[in-house]
Structure 1
Protein backbone atom coordinates (compact mmCIF):
# COMPACT_ATOMS: atom_id res chain seq x y z
CA UNK A 1 0.00 0.00 0.00
CA UNK A 2 1.04 3.59 -0.61
CA UNK A 3 -0.64 4.86 2.60
CA UNK A 4 -2.48 7.71 0.95
CA UNK A 5 -5.95 9.19 0.83
CA UNK A 6 -7.47 9.52 -2.64
CA UNK A 7 -10.03 11.93 -4.04
CA UNK A 8 -12.10 11.34 -7.19
CA UNK A 9 -15.03 12.86 -9.04
CA UNK A 10 -17.58 10.39 -10.42
CA UNK A 11 -21.11 9.98 -11.70
CA UNK A 12 -22.60 7.71 -9.03
CA UNK A 13 -22.57 6.79 -5.34
CA UNK A 14 -21.26 3.18 -5.38
CA UNK A 15 -23.35 0.58 -3.56
CA UNK A 16 -20.76 -2.16 -4.14
CA UNK A 17 -17.26 -2.66 -5.54
CA UNK A 18 -18.76 -3.66 -8.90
CA UNK A 19 -21.16 -0.69 -9.02
CA UNK A 20 -18.88 1.30 -11.29
CA UNK A 21 -19.66 4.86 -12.42
CA UNK A 22 -20.09 5.73 -16.06
CA UNK A 23 -17.45 8.43 -15.54
CA UNK A 24 -14.68 8.81 -12.98
CA UNK A 25 -11.61 11.02 -12.70
CA UNK A 26 -8.80 11.26 -10.22
CA UNK A 27 -8.49 14.62 -8.47
CA UNK A 28 -5.81 14.34 -5.79
CA UNK A 29 -3.89 12.09 -3.40
CA UNK A 30 -2.15 12.79 -0.11
CA UNK A 31 0.28 10.74 2.02
CA UNK A 32 -0.58 9.80 5.62
CA UNK A 33 -3.35 12.37 6.00
CA UNK A 34 -6.71 13.67 4.79
CA UNK A 35 -6.18 17.35 3.86
CA UNK A 36 -8.62 20.07 4.78
CA UNK A 37 -9.54 20.63 1.12
CA UNK A 38 -10.80 17.04 0.82
CA UNK A 39 -13.02 17.42 3.86
CA UNK A 40 -14.45 20.71 2.65
CA UNK A 41 -15.28 19.23 -0.74
CA UNK A 42 -16.84 16.14 0.89
CA UNK A 43 -18.88 18.28 3.29
CA UNK A 44 -21.76 18.26 0.82
CA UNK A 45 -24.02 15.57 2.27
CA UNK A 46 -21.25 13.04 3.03
CA UNK A 47 -22.21 9.42 3.60
CA UNK A 48 -20.74 5.94 3.56
CA UNK A 49 -20.55 4.14 0.24
CA UNK A 50 -18.71 1.11 -1.08
CA UNK A 51 -14.99 1.41 -1.70
CA UNK A 52 -13.92 1.14 -5.32
CA UNK A 53 -10.26 0.67 -4.40
CA UNK A 54 -10.48 -2.92 -3.23
CA UNK A 55 -12.97 -5.79 -3.09
CA UNK A 56 -11.88 -6.99 0.35
CA UNK A 57 -8.41 -8.28 1.20
CA UNK A 58 -6.22 -10.87 -0.50
CA UNK A 59 -6.48 -13.09 2.57
CA UNK A 60 -10.31 -13.11 2.41
CA UNK A 61 -12.26 -16.14 1.32
CA UNK A 62 -14.04 -15.54 -2.02
CA UNK A 63 -17.32 -16.26 -0.23
CA UNK A 64 -16.61 -14.08 2.80
CA UNK A 65 -15.01 -10.81 1.75
CA UNK A 66 -14.40 -7.91 4.10
CA UNK A 67 -16.75 -5.02 3.29
CA UNK A 68 -14.70 -1.90 2.72
CA UNK A 69 -16.12 1.61 2.74
CA UNK A 70 -15.41 5.02 1.27
CA UNK A 71 -17.18 8.39 1.49
CA UNK A 72 -19.44 9.90 -1.14
CA UNK A 73 -20.59 13.51 -1.27
CA UNK A 74 -22.36 15.92 -3.57
CA UNK A 75 -19.77 17.68 -5.73
CA UNK A 76 -21.57 20.95 -6.30
CA UNK A 77 -22.53 21.51 -2.66
CA UNK A 78 -18.99 20.90 -1.44
CA UNK A 79 -17.45 22.90 -4.29
CA UNK A 80 -19.55 25.98 -3.52
CA UNK A 81 -18.47 25.80 0.12
CA UNK A 82 -14.85 25.30 -0.94
CA UNK A 83 -14.91 28.33 -3.25
CA UNK A 84 -16.28 30.45 -0.40
CA UNK A 85 -13.42 29.23 1.79
CA UNK A 86 -10.87 29.98 -0.93
CA UNK A 87 -12.04 33.58 -1.17
CA UNK A 88 -11.35 34.00 2.54
CA UNK A 89 -7.95 32.30 2.32
CA UNK A 90 -7.09 34.52 -0.63
CA UNK A 91 -7.03 37.57 1.65
CA UNK A 92 -4.59 35.88 4.03
CA UNK A 93 -2.42 34.48 1.23
CA UNK A 94 -2.08 37.94 -0.31
CA UNK A 95 -0.24 39.01 2.83
CA UNK A 96 2.08 36.01 3.23
CA UNK A 97 2.45 33.68 0.25
CA UNK A 98 2.53 34.21 -3.50
CA UNK A 99 2.71 30.42 -4.11
CA UNK A 100 -0.44 29.85 -2.06
CA UNK A 101 -2.19 32.66 -3.89
CA UNK A 102 -1.40 31.14 -7.28
CA UNK A 103 -2.50 27.66 -6.14
CA UNK A 104 -5.94 28.97 -5.21
CA UNK A 105 -6.63 29.96 -8.81
CA UNK A 106 -5.20 26.70 -10.14
CA UNK A 107 -7.40 24.78 -7.70
CA UNK A 108 -10.64 26.36 -8.86
CA UNK A 109 -9.73 25.91 -12.53
CA UNK A 110 -8.80 22.25 -12.07
CA UNK A 111 -11.93 21.34 -10.13
CA UNK A 112 -14.19 23.10 -12.61
CA UNK A 113 -12.61 21.11 -15.43
CA UNK A 114 -13.11 17.82 -13.57
CA UNK A 115 -16.52 18.42 -12.04
CA UNK A 116 -18.98 15.54 -11.94
CA UNK A 117 -22.11 14.75 -9.95
CA UNK A 118 -20.38 13.25 -6.90
CA UNK A 119 -17.06 13.05 -5.08
CA UNK A 120 -15.42 9.93 -3.68
CA UNK A 121 -12.93 9.96 -0.80
CA UNK A 122 -11.00 6.72 -0.26
CA UNK A 123 -9.17 6.35 3.05
CA UNK A 124 -8.76 2.56 3.24
CA UNK A 125 -4.95 2.70 2.99
CA UNK A 126 -4.76 5.04 5.97
CA UNK A 127 -7.35 3.10 7.96
CA UNK A 128 -5.47 -0.17 7.46
CA UNK A 129 -2.45 1.33 9.15
CA UNK A 130 -4.42 1.20 12.41
CA UNK A 131 -7.16 -1.39 11.98
CA UNK A 132 -7.88 -4.65 10.17
CA UNK A 133 -11.31 -5.81 11.34
CA UNK A 134 -14.37 -4.87 9.29
CA UNK A 135 -16.24 -3.13 12.12
CA UNK A 136 -13.20 -1.08 13.14
CA UNK A 137 -12.48 -0.09 9.54
CA UNK A 138 -16.08 1.04 9.10
CA UNK A 139 -15.79 3.09 12.30
CA UNK A 140 -12.75 4.87 10.85
CA UNK A 141 -14.73 5.89 7.77
CA UNK A 142 -17.71 6.95 9.87
CA UNK A 143 -15.38 9.16 11.92
CA UNK A 144 -14.13 10.74 8.70
CA UNK A 145 -17.73 11.42 7.61
CA UNK A 146 -18.18 13.29 10.89
CA UNK A 147 -14.96 15.22 10.27
CA UNK A 148 -16.25 16.31 6.84
CA UNK A 149 -19.52 17.50 8.34
CA UNK A 150 -17.68 19.37 11.09
CA UNK A 151 -15.53 21.23 8.56
CA UNK A 152 -18.63 22.19 6.58
CA UNK A 153 -20.27 23.53 9.74
CA UNK A 154 -17.13 25.53 10.57
CA UNK A 155 -17.09 27.22 7.18
CA UNK A 156 -20.81 27.95 7.36
CA UNK A 157 -20.24 29.61 10.74
CA UNK A 158 -17.91 32.23 9.24
CA UNK A 159 -19.45 35.65 8.58
CA UNK A 160 -20.40 36.60 5.05
CA UNK A 161 -17.99 39.52 4.99
CA UNK A 162 -14.68 38.08 3.65
CA UNK A 163 -12.47 40.38 5.71
CA UNK A 164 -14.24 39.55 8.94
CA UNK A 165 -14.15 35.86 8.04
CA UNK A 166 -10.42 36.09 7.30
CA UNK A 167 -9.73 37.58 10.73
CA UNK A 168 -11.66 34.78 12.43
CA UNK A 169 -9.99 32.10 10.31
CA UNK A 170 -6.54 33.47 11.05
CA UNK A 171 -7.25 33.50 14.78
CA UNK A 172 -8.61 29.95 14.71
CA UNK A 173 -5.55 28.74 12.79
CA UNK A 174 -3.17 30.24 15.35
CA UNK A 175 -5.01 29.31 18.55
CA UNK A 176 -7.36 26.37 19.03
CA UNK A 177 -10.95 27.49 19.46
CA UNK A 178 -14.11 25.76 20.59
CA UNK A 179 -16.11 23.82 17.96
CA UNK A 180 -16.84 24.35 15.16
CA UNK A 181 -13.79 26.61 14.59
CA UNK A 182 -11.35 24.09 16.13
CA UNK A 183 -11.05 22.31 12.76
CA UNK A 184 -8.98 25.25 11.43
CA UNK A 185 -6.26 24.99 14.07
CA UNK A 186 -2.81 24.54 12.54
CA UNK A 187 -3.53 25.82 9.01
CA UNK A 188 -0.60 27.75 7.57
CA UNK A 189 -1.07 30.63 5.15
CA UNK A 190 2.63 31.04 4.32
CA UNK A 191 4.77 29.09 1.85
CA UNK A 192 4.58 26.01 4.12
CA UNK A 193 0.82 25.65 3.65
CA UNK A 194 1.22 22.09 2.35
CA UNK A 195 4.32 20.99 4.23
CA UNK A 196 4.05 17.23 4.74
CA UNK A 197 4.82 17.40 8.45
CA UNK A 198 1.92 19.82 9.01
CA UNK A 199 -1.03 18.07 10.69
CA UNK A 200 -3.50 20.38 8.92
CA UNK A 201 -2.40 20.67 5.28
CA UNK A 202 -4.65 22.55 2.90
CA UNK A 203 -4.00 19.84 0.29
CA UNK A 204 -3.79 21.95 -2.85
CA UNK A 205 -2.12 19.31 -5.03
CA UNK A 206 -4.30 18.34 -7.99
CA UNK A 207 -3.81 15.73 -10.69
CA UNK A 208 -6.05 13.33 -12.61
CA UNK A 209 -3.21 10.78 -12.67
CA UNK A 210 -3.12 9.03 -9.28
CA UNK A 211 -1.21 6.08 -7.88
CA UNK A 212 -4.53 4.29 -7.46
CA UNK A 213 -6.36 4.53 -10.79
CA UNK A 214 -10.02 3.46 -10.75
CA UNK A 215 -11.88 1.96 -13.69
CA UNK A 216 -15.20 3.30 -14.92
CA UNK A 217 -18.04 0.94 -15.85
CA UNK A 218 -16.93 0.38 -19.44
CA UNK A 219 -13.34 -0.36 -18.45
CA UNK A 220 -14.35 -2.56 -15.52
CA UNK A 221 -16.84 -4.62 -17.55
CA UNK A 222 -14.19 -5.50 -20.11
CA UNK A 223 -12.48 -7.73 -17.53
CA UNK A 224 -15.56 -9.27 -15.88
Structure 2
Protein backbone atom coordinates (compact mmCIF):
# COMPACT_ATOMS: atom_id res chain seq x y z
CA UNK A 1 0.00 0.00 0.00
CA UNK A 2 1.28 3.45 -0.92
CA UNK A 3 0.25 5.19 2.35
CA UNK A 4 -0.77 8.40 0.67
CA UNK A 5 -3.60 10.87 0.93
CA UNK A 6 -5.35 11.98 -2.24
CA UNK A 7 -7.10 15.21 -3.18
CA UNK A 8 -9.61 15.45 -6.03
CA UNK A 9 -12.11 17.96 -7.27
CA UNK A 10 -15.59 16.65 -8.03
CA UNK A 11 -18.99 17.83 -9.16
CA UNK A 12 -21.02 15.56 -6.84
CA UNK A 13 -20.81 14.33 -3.26
CA UNK A 14 -19.43 10.76 -3.28
CA UNK A 15 -22.00 8.27 -2.04
CA UNK A 16 -24.93 10.66 -2.40
CA UNK A 17 -28.14 8.98 -3.48
CA UNK A 18 -28.47 11.40 -6.39
CA UNK A 19 -24.89 10.88 -7.61
CA UNK A 20 -24.78 11.66 -11.31
CA UNK A 21 -23.74 9.29 -14.08
CA UNK A 22 -21.49 12.06 -15.42
CA UNK A 23 -19.53 12.35 -12.19
CA UNK A 24 -16.16 14.06 -12.48
CA UNK A 25 -13.19 13.20 -10.25
CA UNK A 26 -10.23 15.35 -11.23
CA UNK A 27 -6.86 14.60 -9.65
CA UNK A 28 -5.40 17.58 -7.77
CA UNK A 29 -2.57 16.29 -5.55
CA UNK A 30 -1.30 13.44 -3.40
CA UNK A 31 1.08 13.38 -0.43
CA UNK A 32 3.11 10.56 1.11
CA UNK A 33 2.58 9.64 4.79
CA UNK A 34 1.52 13.13 5.92
CA UNK A 35 -1.55 15.34 5.75
CA UNK A 36 -0.04 18.78 5.06
CA UNK A 37 -1.58 22.11 5.98
CA UNK A 38 -2.12 22.99 2.31
CA UNK A 39 -4.55 20.09 1.90
CA UNK A 40 -6.33 20.91 5.15
CA UNK A 41 -6.87 24.52 4.14
CA UNK A 42 -8.30 23.46 0.79
CA UNK A 43 -10.80 21.23 2.63
CA UNK A 44 -11.67 23.90 5.21
CA UNK A 45 -14.55 25.42 3.24
CA UNK A 46 -17.65 23.98 4.92
CA UNK A 47 -16.08 20.51 5.39
CA UNK A 48 -18.18 17.37 5.90
CA UNK A 49 -17.64 13.64 5.96
CA UNK A 50 -18.62 11.55 2.93
CA UNK A 51 -18.28 8.04 1.56
CA UNK A 52 -14.94 7.01 0.10
CA UNK A 53 -14.52 6.54 -3.63
CA UNK A 54 -11.40 4.41 -3.03
CA UNK A 55 -12.39 2.16 -0.12
CA UNK A 56 -15.35 -0.20 0.04
CA UNK A 57 -16.37 0.97 3.47
CA UNK A 58 -19.97 1.71 4.52
CA UNK A 59 -18.80 4.45 6.88
CA UNK A 60 -17.97 7.99 5.80
CA UNK A 61 -14.16 7.89 5.88
CA UNK A 62 -13.50 10.63 3.31
CA UNK A 63 -14.03 14.39 3.50
CA UNK A 64 -15.58 16.92 1.18
CA UNK A 65 -15.40 20.72 1.17
CA UNK A 66 -16.35 23.66 -1.01
CA UNK A 67 -13.78 24.22 -3.78
CA UNK A 68 -14.01 28.00 -4.09
CA UNK A 69 -13.98 28.61 -0.33
CA UNK A 70 -11.06 26.24 0.15
CA UNK A 71 -8.98 27.95 -2.51
CA UNK A 72 -9.76 31.32 -0.94
CA UNK A 73 -8.67 30.07 2.51
CA UNK A 74 -5.42 28.75 1.06
CA UNK A 75 -4.73 31.98 -0.84
CA UNK A 76 -5.25 33.99 2.36
CA UNK A 77 -2.67 31.79 4.08
CA UNK A 78 -0.16 31.94 1.22
CA UNK A 79 -0.47 35.73 1.00
CA UNK A 80 1.11 35.94 4.46
CA UNK A 81 4.28 34.10 3.39
CA UNK A 82 7.00 36.56 2.46
CA UNK A 83 9.92 34.17 1.96
CA UNK A 84 11.38 34.66 -1.50
CA UNK A 85 12.22 30.96 -1.73
CA UNK A 86 8.52 30.06 -1.53
CA UNK A 87 7.16 32.50 -4.10
CA UNK A 88 7.54 30.28 -7.19
CA UNK A 89 5.75 27.41 -5.45
CA UNK A 90 3.01 29.78 -4.31
CA UNK A 91 2.50 31.13 -7.83
CA UNK A 92 2.44 27.59 -9.24
CA UNK A 93 -0.16 26.55 -6.65
CA UNK A 94 -2.53 29.44 -7.35
CA UNK A 95 -2.21 28.99 -11.11
CA UNK A 96 -2.95 25.26 -10.92
CA UNK A 97 -5.97 25.58 -8.62
CA UNK A 98 -7.48 28.36 -10.73
CA UNK A 99 -7.31 26.45 -14.01
CA UNK A 100 -10.90 26.03 -15.24
CA UNK A 101 -10.35 22.34 -16.00
CA UNK A 102 -9.43 21.67 -12.34
CA UNK A 103 -12.33 23.55 -10.79
CA UNK A 104 -15.47 21.80 -9.59
CA UNK A 105 -18.00 22.44 -6.86
CA UNK A 106 -16.15 20.34 -4.27
CA UNK A 107 -12.80 19.08 -3.11
CA UNK A 108 -12.83 15.49 -1.88
CA UNK A 109 -10.05 14.18 0.35
CA UNK A 110 -9.17 10.52 0.73
CA UNK A 111 -6.96 9.72 3.75
CA UNK A 112 -7.84 6.06 4.26
CA UNK A 113 -4.30 4.85 3.59
CA UNK A 114 -2.89 7.30 6.14
CA UNK A 115 -5.55 6.39 8.71
CA UNK A 116 -4.91 2.69 8.15
CA UNK A 117 -1.38 3.06 9.54
CA UNK A 118 -2.88 3.72 12.98
CA UNK A 119 -4.89 1.58 15.37
CA UNK A 120 -7.89 3.90 15.73
CA UNK A 121 -10.89 3.08 13.50
CA UNK A 122 -10.83 4.96 10.19
CA UNK A 123 -14.13 6.72 10.82
CA UNK A 124 -12.95 8.06 14.19
CA UNK A 125 -9.74 9.38 12.64
CA UNK A 126 -11.76 11.03 9.90
CA UNK A 127 -13.97 12.76 12.47
CA UNK A 128 -10.87 13.99 14.32
CA UNK A 129 -9.49 15.43 11.07
CA UNK A 130 -12.84 17.10 10.40
CA UNK A 131 -12.61 18.85 13.79
CA UNK A 132 -9.10 20.09 12.89
CA UNK A 133 -10.46 21.59 9.67
CA UNK A 134 -13.05 23.55 11.62
CA UNK A 135 -10.35 25.35 13.65
CA UNK A 136 -7.27 25.81 11.49
CA UNK A 137 -5.99 29.00 13.14
CA UNK A 138 -3.58 27.37 15.63
CA UNK A 139 -1.96 25.28 12.90
CA UNK A 140 -1.83 28.28 10.55
CA UNK A 141 -0.02 30.32 13.18
CA UNK A 142 2.50 27.53 13.82
CA UNK A 143 3.17 27.11 10.12
CA UNK A 144 3.70 30.83 9.58
CA UNK A 145 6.00 31.01 12.58
CA UNK A 146 8.11 28.18 11.16
CA UNK A 147 8.71 30.32 8.08
CA UNK A 148 10.09 33.32 9.96
CA UNK A 149 13.91 33.51 9.67
CA UNK A 150 15.63 33.68 13.06
CA UNK A 151 17.10 37.03 14.07
CA UNK A 152 20.83 37.44 13.57
CA UNK A 153 22.41 37.68 16.99
CA UNK A 154 25.67 39.53 17.52
CA UNK A 155 27.83 37.90 20.17
CA UNK A 156 28.40 40.08 23.21
CA UNK A 157 32.15 39.92 22.73
CA UNK A 158 31.94 41.10 19.12
CA UNK A 159 33.92 44.20 18.27
CA UNK A 160 32.59 47.58 17.24
CA UNK A 161 32.67 46.91 13.47
CA UNK A 162 31.09 43.48 13.88
CA UNK A 163 28.21 45.08 15.73
CA UNK A 164 27.99 47.90 13.23
CA UNK A 165 27.81 45.63 10.18
CA UNK A 166 25.96 42.76 11.81
CA UNK A 167 28.79 40.27 11.61
CA UNK A 168 28.42 37.30 13.85
CA UNK A 169 29.87 33.87 14.34
CA UNK A 170 28.03 30.89 12.89
CA UNK A 171 27.48 29.45 16.34
CA UNK A 172 25.35 32.44 17.37
CA UNK A 173 22.74 31.86 14.62
CA UNK A 174 20.12 29.24 15.54
CA UNK A 175 19.84 26.34 13.10
CA UNK A 176 16.60 26.79 11.19
CA UNK A 177 15.86 24.89 8.01
CA UNK A 178 13.48 27.19 6.18
CA UNK A 179 13.47 25.03 3.06
CA UNK A 180 12.21 22.07 5.11
CA UNK A 181 9.49 24.29 6.55
CA UNK A 182 8.46 25.29 3.03
CA UNK A 183 8.48 21.66 1.92
CA UNK A 184 6.37 20.63 4.93
CA UNK A 185 3.55 22.93 3.77
CA UNK A 186 2.73 20.51 0.95
CA UNK A 187 3.30 22.84 -2.00
CA UNK A 188 4.63 21.51 -5.29
CA UNK A 189 2.65 18.25 -5.43
CA UNK A 190 -0.01 19.39 -7.90
CA UNK A 191 -0.88 16.94 -10.65
CA UNK A 192 -3.94 15.62 -12.48
CA UNK A 193 -2.32 12.18 -12.59
CA UNK A 194 -2.66 10.44 -9.22
CA UNK A 195 -2.11 6.82 -8.19
CA UNK A 196 -5.90 6.30 -8.25
CA UNK A 197 -7.10 7.80 -11.50
CA UNK A 198 -10.75 8.48 -12.36
CA UNK A 199 -10.20 10.15 -15.73
CA UNK A 200 -11.58 7.09 -17.53
CA UNK A 201 -14.89 7.13 -15.64
Task: Calculate the TM-score normalised by the size of structure 1.
Answer: 0.67
Tell me how large the CA RMSD over aligned residues is: 2.8
Aligned counterparts of 1:126 and 1:140: Cα–Cα separation in 2: 10
Partner of 2:88: 102
Question: Take 1:137 and 1:47, find their aligned partners in 2: how far apart are those partners?
Answer: 15
Give the SS at the match of 1:214.
coil
The answer as to whether partners of 2:146 and 2:178 remain within 8 angstroms in 1 is no
C-alpha distance in 2 between matches for 1:39 and 1:32: 14
Greater Rg, structure 1 or structure 2? 2
Secondary structure in structure 2 of the residue aligned to 1:144? helix
Instruction: Tell me if structure 1 keeps the 8 A contact 2:3–2:113.
Output: yes
Alpha-carbon distance change, 72 to 189 in structure 1, aligned in 2, over 3 angstroms = farther
1:146 Cα deviation from its structure 2 partner: 1.0
1:145 is the counterpart of 2:137: no
The 3 A distance-change label for structure 1 pair 128 and 171 is closer
Q: State the shift of 1:2 in Å.
A: 0.5
CA distance in 1, matches of 2:53, 2:89: 29
Number of aligned residue pairs: 170
**1:31, 1:119 → 2: CA distance?**
19
Which of the residues 65, 76, 79 maps onto 2:71? Answer: 79
Residues 170, 125 of structure 1: alpha-carbon distance in 2 compared, 3 angstrom cutoff: closer
Structure 1 alignment gaps of length 5 or more: 57-65, 159-167, 175-187, 196-200, 220-224
| Distance 1:206-1:189 versus aligned 2 partners, 3 A rule | farther
- Measure, in 2, the Cα distance between the counterparts of 1:38 and 1:212: 17
Give SS of 1:34's match: coil
The Cα offsets for residues 129-165 of structure 1, whole Å up to 9 and x where unpaired, read as: 1137xxx21100001111112216866xx8xxxxxxx
| Corresponding residue number in structure 1 for 2:41 | 40
Q: Which residue of 1 aligns with 2:14?
A: 14
The Cα of 1:173 is off from its aligned counterpart by: 6.2
Deviation at 1:15, TM superposition (A): 2.4
Question: What is the alpha-carbon distance in structure 1 between the residues aligned to residue 180 and residue 47 of structure 2?
Answer: 29
1:5–1:32 contact (8 Å) kept in structure 2 = yes
* Map 1:162-173 → 2, pairs under 5 A: 170-171=144-145
**Correspondence for 2:54:** 53
Structure 1 consecutive aligned stretches of length 4 or more whose deviation exceeds 4 Å:
16-21, 152-155
What residue is the counterpart of 2:98 in the other structure?
Answer: 112
SS in structure 2 at match of 1:193:
helix
1:214 matched to 2:198? The reply is: yes
- With normalisation by structure 2, the TM-score equals 0.74
